[in-house]
Amino acid sequence: MRVYQCSAFALLSVVALSTPALAQNNPFGQPQTAPPAPPPAGNGGTWQQPGQPGAPAAAPPAASAEEQKKPKQPKMGDFNAGGQVRLPSGPDEMGEYATFNWVAVDAKGKYYLLDSVTLDASAPIALIHPDTVAGGAEPGYFGGLAVTFNAKLPQGPMAGMMKYKTDVSLLLTGGYMKEGAMLLSEKDFPMFIGSFHPGFSGGLSMKIKLSSLVDFSLVPVWVYQGGEVENQQAVQIPMSLILSVGSLVKLSADLGVFTGDDYSFGADNGGRIYAGGALDIKIGKLIFHGGAGTASLLTGGLYPTVRDAFYLDLNVAFAK
């Protein structure tokens, strides 16, 4: 009997000594649960113990080098504002044409209502002009104000079938300007005479991307403005061939067909065809513009000769 007790005591001692962790962690003899096995490697996941804080979310992928090179696109709330100085050739009191007889300053601004919808404002000012012109008319300083609603139209179902990408925008302009001022182009001398009358114009702005560097712009517009004796109606078709070097430099060749009142293309009735070129350079948030050419290839009416129609314009704008 003693031998049996000693043997049992010895057996219990050996078991207790051989399992010290089990004796410490499970003192009440409850069944031990094995810890969960880690997931197999190869799925890119990181195994963690239950109850530990979650791993941080993966960072979004960095922008590609091509995306970083793209110019910043304007968005809702952005704007740009500036002024354009124009040095058109025009007559003095004696009817002699010269470049500095007239100096025009156009205050301009653009505000983005949406990414593809803007409000464009323009206020032309004849900073320097003769006191009188032929016929005894006395030109004024302020030409009025015009505001344009510019909305980019969605791509139509035929867009995918066209060879060149085309962006089309709707242009609606309301103005309150001196009589006939809405029929003038930005190449003409700013002869603001008579009283102010309301006016309206509507048209389309079409930009066709011929290649990664070359664009073609066409802006056909119909113009209507009230008058002291009769209302005036005209058609204006400015167009440009634009060479872009990135977003910093643009070189353009410009041509514009402008009718006089009652859609007359004759020079004696106010018709003009301007031709010239321009250079735009962007430095930081400033855009510098310079252009030169002739306000009319047609002789007679406003311009006796092509040389008398020479113009020069300078523009600086702040873009945000």
The CATH number that applies at residue 94 is 2.40.160.40
CB 276 within 8 A of CB 311: yes
228 inside domain: yes
Least confident of 22-36, 60-74, 217-231: 22-36
State the pLDDT at residue 52.
54
State the pLDDT at residue 285.
82
Is the pTM of the predicted complex or chain greater than 0.85?
no
The candidate with the shortest Cα–Cα distance to 274, out of 300, 251, 292, 250, is 292
State the pLDDT at residue 127.
94
Range of the domain at 107: 78-319
pLDDT at 70 over 90: no
Q: Looking at the 3D structure of the chain, how many domains does it have?
A: 1
CA distances, 320 to each of 30, 83, 138, 166, 235 (Å): 72, 15, 39, 26, 33
45 inside domain: no
Which tens digits make up the pLDDT trace of 116-170? 999 999 999 999 999 998 778 899 999 999 999 999 999 766 566 667 889 999 9
Mean pLDDT of 263-276: 94
3 inside domain: no
301 inside domain: yes
Mean pLDDT of 101-119: 93
pLDDT band at 68 (very low <50, low <70, confident <90, very high): low
CB 86 within 8 A of CB 311: yes
181 inside domain: yes
Q: Where are the beta strands (DSSP E) in 97-245?
A: 97-98, 103-114, 117-128, 144-152, 165-178, 196-209, 214-218, 221-225, 232-245
Mean pLDDT of 163-184: 94
State the pLDDT at residue 137.
85
